[in-house]
Amino acid sequence: MTVLLYIAGVLAIVVGLAVSIGLHEFGHLIPAKRFGVRVPQWFVGFGKTLWSMERGGTEYGVKAFPLGGYVKLIGMLPPDGDDARPSRMPLAVRQLVSDAREAEAELLQPGDEDRMFYRLPWWKKVIVMSGGPTVNLLISFFLFGAVFWIHGVPETTTTVSSVADCVQAVRADEVKTPTCRSTDPVAPSKLAGLKKGDKIVSFGGTAITSYDQLQKLIRATPDKTVTITVVRNGARKNLTATTRVNSLQALDGSTHNVNVGYLGITPTQDMVSKGPIYTLGQMGGYTKATVQALGHLPSRLWGVAKAVVGVQKRSADSPMSVVGVSRVAGQVASDHNVDVGNKIAFVITLLAGVNLFVGMFNFVPLLPLDGGHIAGALYEAVRRGFARVRGRPDPGHFDVARLLPVAYMMAGLLLVMTVLLVYADIVAPVA
């Protein structure tokens, strides 16, 4: 049973990513066709073709290795001479560009003259190339939204889950013991008569609306006697408690301890359904974190490389390949300590996070990523706009072929990154 659940978790991620890849490519294909560009191929995966069919002049198919996908748009590179400026590229680079143009020309058919991508206005190029990563962001939004709405979000309430027996300080150099010692004073909550199920509605005369508010009030009143109003069995009841001074971890995310007021209660957590506004807010935070992760990607890849050769332990927040993500999904799916609802929510959240990363990564303005083509289209718009304003001749379409050396270098780096992460996820997986 455990093995079957593990396989189910892995398959859920693999199939989910394959569907995401296909939808990403549809994000390019649909607007390209709308704008009149001929699209001869749409494929999920690379390598040997496992299945394909032709519809509307486009071959749709699946290949053996589902590590990506592509759509072929006719006329991505302008023909030689579209940009009339003399080339200063080295001979070897010019030959590389020339070979790429010839490969593009071999795909042209009669009637393609007005169906080539490079002839589109700059704004249409931006729409076509941003369509793929935008689809990934939308997938991420809807998957996160489904989890927040259907499964819910854990929210701490002001209802008491348990009452402490004694006051135990949380020290950085000492592990909190599960039982009270004879020297530990009785917890203020127990002395006050608080019970499991009590809902705290007032503390020291201040109406309570959230646990965060209550926690801050308790901490701000060390060694003071206050009136606590609770709702117990539907009736209000006033209790008197004298808070203790206790050494607890600070709430600012740091690891140091502070002396604050202590009551001694553990709140309950309820799963609360959240809507689109909450999802948008969370997506904003996730997007910011993703951008920061992209900025740290080179250093973290270096850390992965050192983990592979045994120089250091692999960091828990290091990037992972499809192999690593699938492994994590399989482990959670087969964990008997996690209920079915949380397993499903975790796998969906994992898939949503991958889509968010892929979408943001593809907006990086470097070829062969979609962002590189978007940057080229925007540069073309600026260049032609300046020419119009200054009364100069139209400089024409931006020649993306001039950036092919950068594209090939980036493609090589991406291949190395993929191989490194796949190998690391096999020999030095994230613990």
Nearest to 160 by CA among 212, 231, 110, 101: 231
Q: Which amino acid is at 153?
A: V
Provide the β-strand partners of residue 227.
240
Query: Residue 25 catalytic?
Result: yes
Provide the β-strand partners of residue 49.
63
Buried b (16+ CB within 10 A) or exposed e, 43-71: bbbeeeeeeeeeeeebebbebeebbbbbb
Alpha-helical regions (H) of 186-321 = 188-192, 211-219, 276-295, 297-308
CA 5 to CA 339: how far, in whole Å?
12
In whole angstroms, how far apart are CA 77 and each of 38, 68, 118, 315, 361?
A: 14, 22, 6, 42, 23
Pull the structure tokens for residue 50: 């496992």
CA 224 to CA 45: how far, in whole Å?
66
CA-derived radius of gyration, the chain:
29
Q: Could you give the count of Cα atoms lying within 13 Å of 67 in the half-sphere of its Cβ?
A: 15
Provide the β-strand partners of residue 258.
248
Are 158 and 210 within 8 A, CB to CB?
Answer: yes
Provide the β-strand partners of residue 55.
58
Are 151 and 345 within 8 A, CB to CB?
Answer: yes
Long-range contacts of 288-292 (CB under 8 A, 24+ apart): 290/356, 290/357, 290/360, 291/360
CA 292 to CA 341: how far, in whole Å?
31
Which residues are annotated as catalytic?
A: 25
